[in-house]
Every structure is written in structure tokens, then in C-alpha cells.
Amino acid sequence: QSALTQPASVSGSPGQSITISCTGTISDVGGYNYVSWYQQRPGKAPKLMIYDVTNRPSGVSFRFSGSKSGNTASLTISGLQAEDEADYFCSSHTSSSSWVFGGGTKVTVL
């Protein structure tokens, strides 16, 4: 199972919106609505931000939203804030009932 493809880095100024893409295949992202997104700060465990493509867990800011088109899922952060600076990973269920992660995207707030 190959890792999902994410851009290595994305940056934006405070208040702007940014979008992180996560590209897979019909055997994972495109075939199931089980895409999730994680925020990871240095030295910390990942934190679930979005599950099942579009759903936000309780306590996660409404500024985080998810979507999917074909084999590509996306995470949008609106009203970018300094505290959003972190690494972000996507994950998807696969046709072999396993899970696969993306390589990660470093978000920088300029």
C-alpha cells in the first residue's frame, strides 16, 4: 500500500485560507468516505481534526473543514492563525481493510 500524496509544505499569512491536498487511488481515498486529517505539533501525538471526509470532532475549530473529489481529499484551514502552524497528515481506509497515511504537510504561518 503506497502512502497518500501530500504537498511537503503549504504557507499562508494570518487570516488567509489554505488548502492541503491528499491524493490516493480508487482503492483508498476514491473508494471510501473514510478520510481523516491529523494535526501534529513537534514532540506531540497527532490530534484528530477531521474524520469521514467532512466531520469535525467536538472541540475542533470550525475553521477546519474537509472535502473530497474523486481520488483527492482536501483540508482547508480558514482564518489562518499562528497556532495552526504544525504538520498535517491525511489517512484513508483501504480496499484491504487497512489504513494508509499521507507523507505529511508542514504548514507555516508567515
Binding site for other proteins (CB under 8 A): 1, 3, 36, 38, 45-48, 50-52, 55, 57, 89, 91, 96-104
Q: Which is nearer to other proteins, 52 or 83 (CB)?
A: 52
Q: Which is nearer to other proteins, 1 or 72 (CB)?
A: 1
Shortest Cβ distance from residue 68 to other proteins (Å)? 14
Shortest Cβ distance from residue 27 to other proteins (Å)? 13
Rounded distance, CA 55 to CA 33, Å? Answer: 11
Shortest Cβ distance from residue 91 to other proteins (Å)? 7
Rounded distance, CA 4 to CA 25, Å? Answer: 8
If one counts every other C-beta atom within 10 angstroms of the C-beta of residue 71, the result is: 18
27 phi and psi, to 5 degrees? -85, -5
Q: Which is nearer to other proteins, 14 or 57 (CB)?
A: 57
Rounded distance, CA 79 to CA 44, Å? Answer: 24
Rounded distance, CA 75 to CA 96, Å? Answer: 25
Shortest Cβ distance from residue 84 to other proteins (Å)? 19
